[in-house]
Copies of this chain bind each other. A is one copy, B any other.
Amino acid sequence: KDQYRIAVIAGDGIGKEVMPEGLRVLEAAAKKHRVKLSFDHFDFASYDYYEKHGQMMPDDWKEKIGGHDAIFFGAVGWPAKIPDHVSLWGSLIKFRREFDQYVNLRPVRLMPGVPSPLAGRKPGDIDFWVVRENTEGEYSSVGGRMFPDTEREFVTQQTVMTRTGVDRILKFAFELAQSRPKRHLTSATKSNGISITMPYWDERVEAMAKAYPEVKWDKYHIDILTAHFVLHPDWFDVVVGSNLFGDILSDLGPACTGTIGIAPSGNINPEGDFPSVFEPVHGSAPDIAGQGIANPIGMIWSGAMMLEHLGEKQAADSIVKAIERTLAERTLRTRDLGGQADTSACGKGVAEMV
């Protein structure tokens, strides 16, 4: 493409602090690899916007950002000021649903300079992807409460899995596994306890596997799977799970590689009918906001995922390599990783290595 139009939303808290570093590194990589990026900044999907306008986003948010090639997103949410169901459901989860970003993709990778909490694991030992269904499943909002405020009170909430929804995420996961040297897919299930939806998930995995004879696949119940993440993180290559299971595994995985502070993520609409969102996993982190000490690596790495999604693999790879080189230098690491650099020194470090 001649030029990519990127919608930039910094959002709340440390989102505002890491975003400039994300952009700095994107610009450096774009320049080096002759990729043309143009950035349009938006102030909505933030508490500040909400305070002024009484809603998280303008009515015409879809027109404003729906035509962009991708959305580069900092963080949203500030639980002390605004409930999550307003801030998150009014922005991030709205994007997922209305832009049909049915894939949530996160790398789990042990990086140099980041000590793993797992004894004896070294960079190279842990390197896999978590593929999460991002639009349906356990996050359905279908349900309700009966006999409120009495002893008989109860609530119900449905998990919903559609053939379309399950098959398309499995297809994405099998394709990804097929493209990797190990060609190994692991499916998260709980069919021995959750007796209707999870056996259906298993059934669709089995059906989809027929189309990918080269991919070795296995499945584990989510309880023992979380145990294997800790005991045998080297077993995994691509791990696919429902909305909830994928959510859990994609926090646990990064924790096993030392910190969720540097993990990136993509909320992806693979067909490209709508823009995809790329954001760090860490969130707005109100407790450290405003001090300039936030680790910008998650934001920067999300930029690399965005470039890869746009088809600019070389530029993407150069950022990931620059991240690795930066993390290996103690002076360029932020405090959470035992260094002394502030947010911008770390960001500049990566930009220079690109």
Binding site for B on A (CB under 8 A): 84-85, 88-89, 93, 115-120, 138-139, 141-145, 150-164, 190-197, 199-200, 222-224, 226-228, 230-231, 243-244, 247-248, 250-252, 254-256, 259-260
A-B contact pairs, 9 of them (CB 8 A): A84-B191, A85-B195, A153-B163, A157-B159, A157-B195, A222-B247, A223-B251, A230-B255, A252-B252
Point out the residue from B117, B164, B222 that lies within 8 Å of A119, measured CB to CB: B117
- With A85-B192, A89-B195, A223-B248 given, name 6 new contacts (CB 8 A): A139-B195, A155-B196, A157-B159, A157-B197, A223-B247, A226-B255
CA distance A195 to B155 in the complex (A): 11
Point out the residue from B118, B138, B160, B224 that lies within 8 Å of A251, measured CB to CB: B224
Point out the residue from B119, B158, B227, B250 that lies within 8 Å of A260, measured CB to CB: B227
Let me know if B196 and A141 touch, CB within 8 A. yes
User: How many copies of this chain are found per oligomer?
Assistant: 2
Chain B positions within 8 Å of A151 at CB level: 163-164
Point out the residue from B141, B154, B155, B227 that lies within 8 Å of A255, measured CB to CB: B227
Residue ID in chain B nearest A250 by CB atoms: B223
CA distance A48 to B199 in the complex (A): 25
Chain B positions within 8 Å of A118 at CB level: 117-119, 230
Chain B positions within 8 Å of A230 at CB level: 117-118, 230, 252, 255-256
Using A143-B158, A248-B222 as known contacts, say yes or no to A117 and B200 having CB atoms under 8 A apart: no
CA distance A231 to B260 in the complex (A): 10
Chain B positions within 8 Å of A158 at CB level: 143, 156-159
Q: Which of A84, A151, A157 lies at the interface centre, i.e. has the most chain B CB atoms within 10 A of its CB? A: A157
Chain B positions within 8 Å of A194 at CB level: 138-139, 157, 244
CA distance A193 to B250 in the complex (A): 14
CB A55 to nearest CB in B, in angstroms, measures 18
Chain B positions within 8 Å of A192 at CB level: 84-85, 88
Chain B positions within 8 Å of A93 at CB level: 193
Point out the residue from B115, B141, B222 that lies within 8 Å of A195, measured CB to CB: B141
Chain B positions within 8 Å of A162 at CB level: 152-154
By Cβ-Cβ distance, the 9 closest A-B pairs, closest first, are: A227-B255, A223-B251, A153-B163, A84-B192, A157-B196, A154-B162, A226-B252, A119-B119, A143-B196
